[in-house]
A = this chain, B = another copy of it.
Amino acid sequence: IVAHGLVDPGRADRRVRINVSGMKFDTRERVLLRYPQTLLGDTVRRQRFYVPEEEEYFFDRHRPSFEGIFRYYQTGKIARPPSVPLDVFAAELAYFDMGSLVINSFLMDEGYNVSDDVVPEKEPQRTVFLLFERQDSILAKIVNLVTVLFILLSVGTSCAETLPRFRNLTEQAFAHTNDVRVNLDIVFHNTFFQIETACMLWFCIELALRFYASPMKRQFIKDIMNILDFVVILPYFVDLILIVASVDPTGSNVIPATIVRVLRLVRVFRIFKLSRHVRALQMLAATLRASAPQLIMLVFFMGILVVLYASIIYFMEVDHPDQFFPSIPAAFWWAIITLTTVGYGDIYPQTPWGKAFACTCVISGILVIAMPLPIITKNFEKFYKKDGNNPFKSLPLNQRDEE
């Protein structure tokens, strides 16, 4: 990186003084020349700031910010001094022309997501892409809103179907005769099935168009959110197949009950489709991803305490005639509900020793849950702040990149 060729060795060793509004920084020519594309590294461009009578370069700029910029020349790492606000430092980085590479690495250090989304260039795809993947135009916002409404409608009917008052309707939605046409006719006159069909139609169209418009098909298929989009459509088609095959899933033994229930449950997972449309959910996901070690730790601590406390309470309560703890695994439930201070009251210790021990259990539960919490909430605060505007958006940053 050092541009030895540009200067004679003696000059590289020469001392240079930079005066930033009265704060003086001394260094050697060599250090500044490490980054010849920046304002200070470019001997020609910085010449107009030279003040011969003081033998220094004078910049009428923010002083505390320059401490961080100067550190970049010395150590190759950029860091904002803690007392300088982000936007002020961003302005100084732009003024001293640190280049988009430095700024991007700095933004990533600060926790910003420096995205590099590719928009397709060909026309029909481009319009579709901007419609479904961006929210810049009014039409795209409407499409977005429609999808959100369909998601809520779909999840809502999945929940409502289980209500006793709708049981008749739910039962209608399955095959009762051996005649496929009759079955389909009954089913497609069923309100729930009609709503479901409408939602599925929209979800299929949306997924198909988004796949069509995607500039990188392979990445699209691998994306966990797209896989989810595909999976939550499946239960509908399984139902259709069963109806065509004249199989009543709830009554027959052809399909095990577990699978039927998983299919029903999968429909509720459509609520995760919201995460593409709601930024708060993306922040939550980012927080959970960043807090994974703490969460694992929390679960691990809880696990150890649960095993330990369940064993102790079991042996303490084993003599009580009406005790609630028939075995250690049964006591796990008590331990968790007590550690988390939920305390349903379905089971609780009844002997004096059991009660005395339960206190330890509650207090240590509070402590163990409280310990990793600040780390996790700080992660959330970090990701939450990033939701604000990128401070470089309004600055003439990429000038030199285009020169």
Contact = CB atoms under 8 A, between A and B. Distances in A.
Contacts of A384: 372, 375
Contact of A346 (B17, B71, B83, B348): B348
A367 B332 CA distance: 21
Nearest to A310: B159
Contacts of A390: none
A95 B370 CA distance: 41
A315 B265 contact: yes
Interface in A160-177: 160, 162-164
Contact of A312 (B265, B312, B318, B329): B265
B369 A377 contact: no
Contacts of A160: 328-329
Oligomeric state, in number of copies? 4
Contact of A367 (B23, B70, B333, B376): B376
A132 to B, nearest CB: 22
A51 B77 CA distance: 28
B314 A297 contact: no
A79 B85 contact: yes
Interface stretch (A99-107, A113-121, A206-214, A337-345): A337-345
B348 A70 contact: no
A278 interface: yes
B297 A280 contact: yes
Contacts of A60: 26-28, 31, 74
B311 A265 contact: yes
Given A25-B22, A61-B74, A375-B381, A363 B340 contact: yes
Interface of A: 15, 17-19, 21-28, 31, 51, 58, 60-64, 67, 70-71, 74-75, 77, 79, 81-83, 85, 88, 91, 155, 158-160, 162-164, 257, 261-262, 264-265, 268-269, 271, 274, 278, 280-281, 284, 287, 295, 297-302, 304, 307-308, 310-312, 314-315, 318-319, 326-329, 332-333, 336-338, 340-346, 348, 352, 355, 358-359, 362-363, 366-378, 380-381, 384
